[in-house]
Amino acid sequence: MSPSGDIAGAGAASAAGTAPDALHELRDAMRRFAAERAWEPFHTPKNLAMALAGEAGEVIEHFQWLTAEQSMALPPATREEVALELADVLLYLVRLGDVLGIELADAARRKMVLNAQRYPVERAHGRADKHDRL
């Protein structure tokens, strides 16, 4: 990442790569971004988690009073606003994982295994019930 905040070639390099490669690239870019601004002292797990929750709230605001149908057919300008808010969520999540030493792709794979056990297809198919109510 340059001092101006550009991630030179980040998307192109990872487009054909794996998800962990893309996450590592984002992690490294966020490290540089924080270091260039001397923000490391502020990037505590508490602060990053709070910022992450705040950004997730900004995503929610776009959908708060919409019907299910409206939420599936966002106007292009709103869709772009949501995309940028989702990017904020992702960037804070990646930074939080980095600060805590958590490999997000590995954690996500472990969680998917757990979810598959909690929500077996034969019991969960077509149902929105929580795992303990299946």
Residue 11 lies in a domain: no
C-alpha closest to that of 94 among 6, 9, 32: 32
How many domains would you assign to the chain?
2
The boundaries of the domain holding residue 60 are 16-99
The answer to whether 89 and 59 have CB atoms below 8 angstroms apart is: yes
Q: Is residue 58 part of a domain?
A: yes
- Same domain for 107 and 94, yes or no, is no
Q: What is the pTM of this model?
A: 0.82
Q: Residue 43: count other Cβ atoms within 10 Å of its Cβ.
A: 18
Is residue 130 scored above 70 in pLDDT? Answer: yes
Inside any domain, residue 10: no
In a domain, 8, yes or no: no
* 5 within a domain of the structure (yes/no): no
- 36 and 81 inside one domain: yes
In this predicted structure, the answer to whether residue 42 has a pLDDT above a threshold of 50 is yes
Residues 65 and 87 in one domain: yes
> Alpha carbon of 10 to those of 29, 90, 108: distances in Å?
9, 15, 22
95 and 132 part of one domain: no
CA dist 103 → 42, 58, 81, 94, 106 (Å): 21, 26, 28, 9, 6
Q: Are 88 and 107 found together in one domain?
A: no
The verdict on 123 and 68 lying in the same domain is: no
**51-106 pLDDT per residue, tens:** 999 999 999 999 999 999 999 999 999 999 999 999 999 999 999 999 999 999 99
